[in-house]
Amino acid sequence: VKIERLIKRQRLEDRVVLAGRKPYEETLALMRACDALLLTSICEQVPNVVLEALALGRPVIATRVGGVPEIKSANLHLIDRLEEIRDVLNGGIEAVEGDTITEDYSLAKIAGQYEALFARLARRKTETVRSTHGTERRTAQR
C-alpha cells in the first residue's frame, strides 16, 4: 500500500506497473518486456529476481537490504529511500552493455566458490585437531 501511494504521489502511474505474483515463465517474459525491475523489499538475502533481471540485461532499482549491495553489476541501482526511485528514473535508466552478472553468478563459479570454502574449512578442522592432540597424524574428517 505504501508503494502504491508513493507511485501516485510521485506521479509515476504511467511508468510503474505492480504486476503481483506470476508463474515463472510469465515473470521472465514480463522482465524481458520491462525497462527496469524495481525491488522495494525491507528484508532480503540475495533475491533471485534481481539476479534474473540482471541476467536478462535489465536494469534493477533495489533497496539496500540484506545481500543486495553485495551484487556487483553496473545495472544495479541501489536506493536507501523509496523517494529516490523517481530520481533514478528521471536520471535515465538504461542497461549497460557488457555486464558480467551471468559469469559472476554461473553455476560453475558458485560451485567452485563453495568447493574452495569447504576445502578451507576441512583444512582448519584438521589443523585444529592436530594442535589439540599434539600429533602430526591425519585425523578422519566428518
Residue 32 pLDDT exceeds 60: yes
Question: pLDDT tens-digit profile of 71-112?
Answer: 999 999 999 988 888 888 888 888 888 788 888 888 899 999
Could you tell me where the beta strands, DSSP code E, fall in 44-86?
A: 60-63, 76-79
What's the predicted TM-score (pTM) here?
0.67
Tell me the mean pLDDT in the region 119-123.
91
- Count, in order, helices (H) and strands (E) of the chain: 6, 3
Q: What is the pLDDT of residue 136?
A: 54
CA distance 10 to 12: 6
**DSSP letter string over 13-46?**
TTT-----S--HHHHHHHHHHSS-EEE--SS-SS
- Cell numbers at residue 118, please? 569447504
CA distance 110 to 65: 21
Is 49 in a helix, a strand, or coil? helix
